[in-house]
A = this chain, B = another copy of it.
């Protein structure tokens, strides 16, 4: 790579709805912790539409995109074989030529939040696809704090045998179009499912031990942990509100965890849009053969109320995932309506400046727990990759009936794709910068 070469990139121009493909300089290492990545595929994500529509308050043009997979082509001076031992291992082991994926935000790997696993709240967090951190919808992208941010895929996949990797794959290795799901939507869905099923108020149903014995923290003198032996006490009733890509991933992750643990459950997957319900139903029917301890039903908002009432004798769900990409007040109100006393509501979408639609008395009266916030993608990567590898029947597909990826196109179609995606005329689009 020569420093003077130009590259192609997708740029957004203010104030809104203005997407152009332009020649810009290839980024170079600017800081010892930087990497430059040659992009193999970049995703168009629902949250790119905030920028596209001009609602982010950004006033200068920028290179779009926060989902990308690629290959390391240049590294800063921090990436020497001998680095101080308290740096994350990628600062010593990342090499030119490594196949990598990136979360949608920068994480240093070294601050308290990164070490504890709350990587999306890294002290140096930056969102790709903004003026100060040019995005991945380009032929090359500079990755700050690359030792904390990038995942080295070959190392992560080394835990799997060739048979495991190829068992359910039509392609010999995981395709880039599949790996790209790890940048955002798949870990976010896994995080939503994990947060809800791992909540102390859900654990009695997961472990068949009543609260608080269901917790690992408790150790009590002379107290034998009792066991829940009535099947009706441990069957999990779950609602997922919103069947966009994150909601679908959350459902698949839920089904996967519940199946692995052999738990009884009923899951209602809710969306007002029929096409989304149909896609979820197709995905479920493809994966349902080995799901014998429960079932998923898709429903409109109205139908979901009746279904949950009937399933639970009017009591409500143990767990409600609010997985609309842009969390909104009516989805939160529905979540409260559907949740039972001592239930959990998990919300992984970004929210607006409106007050949340709950009174203190409502939250008290139902003993509700709420978990809000962005997925720590970097920390959830192992769980998400594991699901991706085992569920290639779903996540390996492009353009098919169950695919989360609608099509892969070249940059020349960028403006059209943003337009169509904004109007809901197409599903998830990936850009191949070299097509």
Q: Tell whether, in the assembled complex, residue B361 and residue A350 are in contact, meaning their CB atoms are under 8 Å apart.
A: yes
A359 to B, closest residue via Cβ: B353
Contact status B160-A222, CB under 8 Å: yes
A370 at the interface (CB under 8 A from B): yes
Contacts of A214 in B (CB 8 A): 117
Q: Which residues of B contact A315 (CB under 8 A)?
A: 112
Q: In whole angstroms, what is the CA distance A360 to B370 when docked? A: 11
Which residues from B are CB-within-8-Å of A382? 220, 223
A380 at the interface (CB under 8 A from B): yes
B386 touching A221, Cβ below 8 Å: yes
A216: which B residues are within 8 A, CB to CB?
A: 198, 203, 216
**Does B121 lie within 8 Å of A341, measured CB to CB?**
yes
Copies in the complex: 2
Cα–Cα, bound, A319→B112 (Å)? 16
User: Which of B159, B327, B374 makes the CB contact (< 8 A) with A222?
Assistant: B159
In the assembled complex, A342 has its CB within 8 A of some CB on chain B: yes
In the complex, the answer to whether A211 meets B116 with C-beta atoms within 8 Å is yes
Once the chains bind, are B217 and A194 in contact (CB under 8 Å)?
yes
Q: Pick the contact of A372 from B158, B205, B369 — CB < 8 Å?
A: B369
Contact A115 B230 (CB under 8 A): yes
Docked Cα-Cα span, A222 to B361, in Å, equals 46
Least CB distance, A253 to chain B, in whole angstroms: 12
Q: What are the residues of chain B within 8 A of A230 when measuring CB–CB?
A: 86, 115
- B198 engages A198 (CB within 8 Å): no
Residue on B nearest A329 in the bound complex, by CB:
B360
Task: For the complex, give the distance between the alpha carbons of A233 and B113 in Å.
Answer: 8
Shortest beta-carbon distance, A363 to chain B, in Å? Answer: 4
Q: Which residue of B lies closest to A350 (CB)?
A: B364
Residue of A115, A158, A160, A374 with highest tally of chain B CB at under 10 A: A115
| Chain A positions 348 through 380: 1 when the CB is less than 8 Å from some CB of chain B, otherwise 0 | 011111111111110111111111111010011
Q: Distance in Å from the Cβ of A332 to the closest Cβ of chain B? A: 7
Q: Min CB distance, A373 to chain B, in Å? A: 3
A210-B367 in contact given A112-B233, A354-B359, A360-B356 (Cβ < 8 Å): no
Residues of B within 8 A of A213 (CB): 117
The verdict on A58 contacting chain B, using a C-beta distance below 8 Å, is: no
* A364 x B342 contact (CB < 8 A): no
Q: Is the CB of B368 within 8 A of A363?
A: no
Select one of B205, B228, B356, B383 contacting A358, CB under 8 A: B356
**Most chain-B Cβ atoms within 10 A of its Cβ — which of A354, A359, A370?**
A370
In the bound complex, what is the Cα–Cα distance between A115 and B347 (angstroms)? Answer: 28
Interface, chain A (partner B; CB < 8 A): 86, 112-113, 115-118, 120-121, 158-160, 194-195, 197-201, 203-206, 210-218, 220-223, 228, 230, 232-233, 257, 315, 327, 329, 332, 341-342, 347, 349-361, 363-374, 376, 379-380, 382-383, 386
7 smallest A-B Cβ distances: which pairs? A351-B360, A159-B222, A367-B373, A117-B211, A117-B210, A363-B372, A121-B341
**14 residue pairs bridging A and B, Cβ less than 8 Å apart:** A116-B342, A117-B213, A118-B341, A121-B342, A211-B379, A327-B364, A342-B376, A347-B364, A349-B364, A351-B359, A351-B363, A355-B355, A366-B372, A366-B373
- 20 additional contacts, CB 8 Å, given A117-B210, A220-B383? A112-B315, A113-B342, A115-B228, A115-B230, A117-B213, A159-B223, A198-B218, A199-B200, A203-B217, A212-B379, A327-B360, A347-B364, A349-B364, A351-B361, A356-B356, A356-B360, A356-B363, A363-B373, A367-B372, A369-B371
